[in-house]
Amino acid sequence: MVGAVGPSFIWKGGEAETFVIFYLHKIQKLFQSDVFNSIFQIEPEKEIPQMKKSVLSYVLVGLIVCCMGAVAWAGGHGHGSKAPKKVGILLVAFGSSEASAQVSFENIERKTKAAFPNTPIRWAYTSHIIREKLAKQGQQLDSPEVALAKMQDEDFTHVAVQSLHTIGGEEYHDVRRTVGAFKIMGGFQRIVLGYPLLATQEDMERTVDAILKTIPKKRKKNEAVLLMGHGTHHPSNAFYAALMFQLQQKDPNIFIGQVEGYPELDVIQPMLKAKKIKKAWLMPFMSVAGDHAKNDMAGDEDDSWKSILTKSGIKCEIVMKGTAEYDEFVDIWVDHVKGPMGHF
């Protein structure tokens, strides 16, 4: 019996898992509440600072481990070796509330279904702000923690969790911690996390080829291509510079800058000036052409890349398509799903 801390359940079968789902939803609501924001001094409508995000991530994972550990101890119920095998895929993205960006996710799901036609697919978004915005629009998207708990409640025994991030940065490692926690719980017979877009040298080479194939055909060789990545303070930000180095071995007028990492636009600008670039094609190097692409890259505000470059005398052409709209990039993510699925 649970007693005073919550609803009274006899710990058996699906009831125990229902208890966990109940509390996961409560925890998720608590993390998004005004009281919680006040305690941790988090301003509404802003992303949680990284240090606090890391602390809260560990708290959430710890609470889940405790809940699930109690279930396993009290009822002996779970997805042990005797449970019928049921394989599922969880696609995990940062998320976007932009309606136009959904085409990217639709393309990923279409390609994943084509590769694994008999495997159910679920989705999760890592951004709580995006989930809240979508909830106000009537769309319910789960966090990875809640999505996995629901999959356990649906009797999945083997789960391939596929990151749809570009690099193995902060968001990817948050997902990795979550997957690790579910491994500790023993809630699934197997749960394996797939690589982000850029993880190996082969990924780098395939991504270079994908970029070269998706650059507009009418772009001339003396015109620059400037890709906007998100960027991060995580060490994996180095992937962007490494990718630009490999790109420039094949086309010296392709550059990669970041919104929130190195190199920023002010580092790229002198390179463009030194090459006497008069025209640049601006393209998002993110899975979706969302808020950053529309505002930071192509917006009319003075601090957008388009405005800054235009004022410096460089004519800008905008390509408003996320990488996940191109099959060349999506094929890399889908191939990464094959890694976890190969363990099942």
Q: How many CB atoms lie within 10 A of CB 32?
A: 16
Cβ proximity of 329 and 320 under 8 Å: no
CA-nearest of 193, 191, 158, 190 to 173 is 193
3-state secondary structure of 45: coil
d(CA 187, CA 20): 12
d(CA 178, CA 174): 6
Question: Which stretches does DSSP call E strand in the chain?
Answer: 87-93, 121-125, 158-163, 190-194, 224-229, 254-258, 279-284, 315-318
Q: Output phi, psi for 121, to 5 deg.
A: -120, 135
∠ CA 13-23-158, rounded to 5°? 55
Cβ proximity of 18 and 25 under 8 Å: no
Annotated catalytic residue, options 230, 233, 234, 336:
230
Query: Does residue 234 have an active-site annotation?
Result: no
d(CA 89, CA 308): 42
Residues serving a catalytic function are 230
